[in-house]
Structure 1
């Protein structure tokens, strides 16, 4: 007899009409995950809007919850989805990305093994339109990511972190304490990553955990995403928040 399921990791996905067709691939990657005994996943898909274009692509799976809401960007959609995050951990999965086999199990192993680890990330590969993949330079070593190291690297490398925020798996209570994702038109996930790194240790898995799809319709590929004025403002508020958290000496887990 198999062990009864008692614990859950919640996978949160923000989606809008242009990316809805990729949900089938994301679902396939979730179904390929093998979790430790006693664990299950729950996929919360939150549409950034209330159109009729996304629902037809939502998988018919009892482990999937689909919700809609007024548009506000992916950060708002993910944060409102936390109302249905009924598990110990929250895993981010963008609608157009795919998890690799074993990704969730590796995240859980790292977080369950060390209560001082607040979040986990992993190596990511760009998934190109022709199906080929390309790695990112500068991955950190496999193991713990100490407080402040991501922020320092990000600041010294033209606001590019050495770990990918789209691979985050976070303790739910820590994610809620930080207010979810930042209220920004973009870089909201980077803002969360740097805030997490300011208050807690993390973990990096050198094994590939995510295929990050590159396609012409993705938000980060639009001209507005690299507008110099807006980018400067986004980076300024992301850094200011992370620095303020560090200076306040708030930490996770809380000191006795």
Structure 2
């Protein structure tokens, strides 16, 4: 169980679902261990958040456990989408814990946002990767079948075809050096879904991921983005954590997930602390 996720399912405002899919990860597999590692390395965090003066245990988070993954990614995403849609139908916000980035597509489909915002080192706009049209390297392209626009924060690499696709009107790419400025005044077309690929962080901070890419974001910059966008989000995930470090990536992922919940819950209250 994710530490502090004590709410009963029926009363939950947030439902965490683990999705340990690990079928298309390139270079360094191991995302199947991501959900458990994030839970494990989140045990040391204090319950209290000084930014919002709130306790995590009071925010109605329920951990529904993992949806066991199998080799058929398309079938798995369909099943996962159904699970997350049930969460939405019950009036709760889904928190998805990957697993490879492909699982984000189930979250986007279930939440049907106007905008998908992705913290990611890679554009993930490929039509296919190694002959696979449903790969972690194609997730943002597929997300645009649902959302009106995609904003990729921290991207610093991609194929020539991906950069060409990124130049179209429905994609905005914000390079690492401009992310702080963008987060200070985000311009979004309606409710958004926020996906955090942990490789958006520079490998110095999160080496436990499949495809490391230098010259990335600092954790503090990612934290600002998550807190800034959370109040406008209808869904959230953090993905691509594996078991190939000493817990740095999992610790960052867990902290960002908690920051999202704190900021979203705080943003859903008016100045008197009443639900909007």
How does the TM-score come out when normalised to structure 2?
0.30
Which structure has the highest strand share of the two? 1
How does the TM-score come out when normalised to structure 1?
0.31
